[in-house]
Amino acid sequence: MFEIGTVCVKIAGRDAGKICVVVDNIDDKTVLIEGATRRRKCNINHLEITDKIAKVKKGASNSEVVKALKEVDIEIAETKKKSKESKPRPRKVRVNNKQTAEKPEQKAKTAKKETTKAESKK
């Protein structure tokens, strides 16, 4: 019933209403789908068969599925994987307990006071 290359519409779940192609038969009740949906196994009860069949090999990649759907006059956007640019993680600056209570401006003032007190004691 669900042959490889069968164009379907997902009718349940997060990808409901999106077009997909059967890429592999897993067992009697589940198939592997790919297309405008996420590549995943799907229960056949959640799919509605269309009258179109795309020429796709077993286990075809996303780009192959997109090309096959274009031949059947179905346009879908090819999903692109986002490249993760690693940004340097912000580092915490550790300071002493006394320094955390004081702001940088106050540090300068207290340092001057301490030096003047030390000078006055001499």
In a domain, 10, yes or no: yes
**For residue 19, what are the domain limits?**
6-71
Domain count, the chain: 1
Query: In this structure, what CATH number is given to the domain that contains residue 41?
Result: 2.30.30.30
Three-class secondary structure of residue 53 per DSSP: strand
Going by C-alpha positions, the residue among 22, 24, 98, 92 that lies closest to residue 58 is: 24
In a domain, 85, yes or no: no
101-122, pLDDT tens digit by residue?
Answer: 555 555 565 566 666 655 665 5
In a domain, 65, yes or no: yes
In a domain, 35, yes or no: yes
As a whole number, mean pLDDT of residues 36-42 equals 89
42-68, pLDDT tens digit by residue?
Answer: 999 999 999 999 898 888 888 888 888
In a domain, 82, yes or no: no
Global pTM value: 0.61
Give the position of tokens 């994987």. 81
pLDDT over 60 (residue 40): yes
In a domain, 33, yes or no: yes
